[in-house]
Amino acid sequence: MFGRCAASILLLSSGLIFSSWLILSSSQASAEEKKVPMTSAQIYVDGAAIYEKPDFDSKVQDYLRYQTKVSVSKKPFRGSSGMGLFHRVRYGSKLGWVPDTDIRVSLPESVKVAAPEKKSGSKAWEKEEEENLGPAPLYFKRYLGGAVAMVNFTEKFSGKKYSDNMLMYGMRMTGPGTLFDGPPLDFNFWFSLDKPGYYDKFSSGKPSGFMMFGDVMIMLPLIDTKNWLATYGLGVMWTYTRYKVPVKNVAFDSQEIRIGLDADLGIARRFGKYLLRVDAKYYYEKSAYLGYIMSFQGEY
């Protein structure tokens, strides 16, 4: 009888001790959680793993979806095995550990309010950044503007070369992403109402018509300083001519498209957001000739 009573008392005592230990552990854990400062955050990846411990080898207790709102510890903790950083995370009524790479902590309201308002149109932050970092290199700036060119246009008739200086004017675009994403390009599209002077040798009246001229080439830097840029380039050029040349009593209609190669050597000077540029170009198609260009462009 005494033995049964002793056994009952022993079992009861053990149960009380175990219950007390559970309550104590739970209260210590709760107190420990309260000591960890928490802040709002969002899950930054889809299927972020929530671990039971700050260890990649520990059991995964849940997977959270992208942009799930959670509370995380402000301070990251080093992983138990020394690998990675983890934040204590609270989602719903559960607690766990999440890698610091899988979350984005929300900015405090004070920081959000302090940010410049877009509607004001103020670009003070851009100016401040430019003052700190300096303006971007000229080679990586995009410019658009007008150009005037003098091209010593040359043609062959019956095996003989005839040349005349043709005044051309039009559009010029330079810089990265000019026509498509990629390296800095130089793109020109010009127009001329001049008629080659050598047509007078064949015509019996005044010729009429026009010429379109253009090229596109890759620009490569020779010198690139804060306000000066020297480049060279290689590319493709084209011409389209349409002239009516009266010969005796017949109007000879001449149309021609010619495609060739060209090379460029140029120098540019920056004035704030504007660029003044002078180039010499060498054209090679059915015949070879030179051209000289001046352009004034604005940053865009």
The CATH code of the domain at 138-299 is 2.40.160.20
How far is Cα 239 from Cα 104, in angstroms, rounded to an integer?
56
- The yes-or-no verdict on residue 14 having pLDDT over 70 is no
Question: What percentage of the chain has pLDDT greater than the value 90?
Answer: 48
How far is Cα 7 from Cα 173, in angstroms, rounded to an integer?
96
Which sign, positive or negative, has the C-alpha torsion 63, 66, 67, 72? positive
Q: What is the mean pLDDT of residues 14-32?
A: 45
Residue 166 is predicted with a pLDDT of 94
Beta bridge partners of 51: 60, 97
How far is Cα 202 from Cα 197, in angstroms, rounded to an integer?
10
Q: What is the mean pLDDT of residues 191-219?
A: 89
* Lowest-pLDDT choice from 66-70, 76-80, 294-298: 76-80
Beta bridge partners of 49: 63
Residue 275 is predicted with a pLDDT of 96
- Using pLDDT thresholds of 50, 70 and 90, give the confidence band for residue 81: confident
Q: What is the mean pLDDT of residues 105-114?
A: 55
- The yes-or-no verdict on residue 144 having pLDDT over 60 is yes
Quote the mean pLDDT of the chain.
82
- Using pLDDT thresholds of 50, 70 and 90, give the confidence band for residue 33: very low
Is the CB of residue 243 less than 8 Å from the CB of residue 207?
yes
Q: What is the pLDDT of residues 57-72, one digit of tens each?
A: 899 999 998 889 999 9
Name the residue ranges covered by the structural domains of the chain: 37-108, 138-299
Q: What is the pLDDT of residues 156-173, one digit of tens each?
A: 877 788 899 999 999 999
- The yes-or-no verdict on residue 45 having pLDDT over 60 is yes
Class of domain 37-108: mainly beta
- Using pLDDT thresholds of 50, 70 and 90, give the confidence band for residue 15: low
- The yes-or-no verdict on residue 24 having pLDDT over 60 is no
In what helix (H) or strand (E) does residue 185 lie, and over which residues does it extend? strand 185-192
Residue 140 is predicted with a pLDDT of 87
Q: What is the mean pLDDT of residues 161-186?
A: 91
Q: What is the pLDDT of residues 220-260, one digit of tens each?
A: 999 989 899 999 999 999 999 999 888 877 777 888 999 99
Domains 37-108 and 138-299 share a fold: no
